[in-house]
Structure 1
Amino acid sequence: MEQDTTDSPRAVKLSCRNLWKVYGANPEYYFDAAGYQIDTENLAKRMRSEAHIPAAIDVSFDVHVGEIFVIMGLSGSGKSTVVRCLSRLVDASYGQVLLDGENLLDKSDKELIDIRRHKMGMVFQNFGLLPHLTVLENVAFPLRLQGLSQAEQRERAERVINLVDLTGREDAFPGQLSGGQQQRVGIARSLAVEPDVWFLDEPFSALDPLIRRQMQDEFLRIQQVLHKSIVFITHDFLEALRIADRMAIMRDGKVVQIGTPEDLILNPVDDYVAQFTSEVPRIRVLRAKACVVPAEGDTSAMVHVSGDLVVEALISELSHNPSGVVVDGADGQPLGVVTPVSLIKTLAALDAPQPSVSA
């Protein structure tokens, strides 16, 4: 069973409940009243022994309103299968996908088309732009499918084109744009429908490293403006760390652990998760509250810092206050103190060698 080490008070926008996707001649057999078992590990083994492939195994998680929820794992872990099941580009074999409490797996084709046109935005690694249409026409294309007037199509398309910083390129064709600009068009097109939930499946992995980082920055800027509920797929932990509010790590079709990036670094449930975090620059991820020790003696003269202060900034504070600083929680009450020694010990413990993970 996966471990979720977080507890968010935010409302839930999208829920995935006991989701399975099984490929083979008769996957339905395993989920009828006689065949379905609670013992998922043995059930998955049985499927494989009977020439079926369980690509997603009993996957459950929630995506909160305004949250960036990242799903990551190695190639073949099942992350892309899950996001396609969430949008019903692929039909799940069993389970529930609840959008605002309504199960998408129960929707008719007609209902699903309407939901995709009005409530979902999707961006994939392949930009999928129509080469014979201009930037403006590509972005407005889903609005045309909605049946909006020409004036409203143009107004909404121009608004999101400006949002992704492509104003002035409205009349350009995809072949006249760089890879980063083409991806911006794909992002703008997915946002033009003003979706409730936004699915992005490795949208930046085909870009050069510098352009990729710029697109991550652009993505975060857009999210600060729109506050969408987002499911973002990646195999790159450093990318996940930059953008994730929470994340799920998958292996062999199963969710291994769910938590904030900091949770996964501090409390990995197994060696597989620990290996994912082994090369992460800790000082850019860890926060002051992770390094506290009990206060000894009078702390009234010490400087106070927020528990959410990243360690990179905490080092600067300690350089001016070598005896330590008091760390306050969200309620303003002291959690303890951080000293140079406690900081070094925390970092050293996290940087201890981890066993290798095979792909």
Structure 2
Amino acid sequence: MMKFTKQNFIFLVCGLLIYVVDIGVDFWVASKYFYQGQYSWSILILCFRGLSSLITQIFSYEWFKNDWEGTDTGKLKWIFLVHLFQCGIFIRYWFALKYGCQAAFKQSNSGAASETDPPHFIQKQAVDVVTDINMLRVFKTFLETAPQLFIQIYILMEHSKNKFWQYAAIIMSFCGISISMVDYQTSLRKSLPDKDEFHVLPKLVYLFYKLLTITSWILGISLITLLSARSSVILLVFLWICGFTWTLKQHTTFCKSKKTEYLYRTVVGIILIFTFFNIKGRKTKVCISIYYATHTVVTLSILFAYMFWKTSIIKEIHFTIVSILTILSLVLGIIFLVAYYSCFHPTAYCRPQTYSDEVDAEAGQKDRVETGRFQNFIM
């Protein structure tokens, strides 16, 4: 268990500020589209925001129930009420700021710790609560930020006249994805005992690997949507089915109940549309190779389809720029991927595996709770 430092606390505060700003930007952009008469875009942006908020509140409340099992039910009622009004994440940020401040500042200033607040306990509380927040932010990233980025880029390519607020929304989406990916990987390293510390160079390599591959994929999906919206929907649904099926075959054991476990698997299927994650903490060299080989083939097929049909949907100069950006980000993303897994990826975390599906059989729930939920989350 690594220490929660002052730098981590500063990043936590910045993350909270960015989260609040992101909410404001979403409503700002949605209102702009609404006043321009583009109601469908406004509704889509708000729908992604609403879906993301609903899913994160469900998981957040379930985690509170699991953590506070056997405690005062009155507290859980208040927690449920706060989550009902879609504000559960702010409770988690409050706990994170509370424990983070104690771990980063008060303990470092005091030579000895009291028996009631041992240093190790406070450090663990701070790391665990921040890890929970970052897990929820991973959900938000791929249920809201990535789809919104896809919509914004699609609108940008479809219309020749663009506004400042559209670029602001795209920049916020890129920032949200970047910070979410790095923060979660940092929390993962702190939470699991056999993970090395996430230094600056590995962070940058991991950031560029994720950001560039996601960017290339979103650009490709935007192009096929311009060509045929129906084909885009069919492709995305097919990819979700593949991701969901693979997650089912992995027999994930993240949640305590059947319903939330299937919800988790559904969300992971959506996440796998955009980027690859290790579902069970096992070696995934073959899986990740197949995943990005498939993305590469699909992306190149989309570009060749545009060149073959010589579509006039977007200007030739725009298509040239988008094609260069798509290929460049794809190639660089793969290079950073290889560099990360060759030089900076920690030893795979090995945990005891069960051979039965925990969703379909209740056995083994006790062991799952004891190991901690972040050890059963995507990596």
- Which TM-score applies when normalising by structure 1? 0.27
Which structure has the greater CA radius of gyration? 1
The structure that is helix-richer by fraction is 2
The structure that is strand-richer by fraction is 1
- Which TM-score applies when normalising by structure 2? 0.26
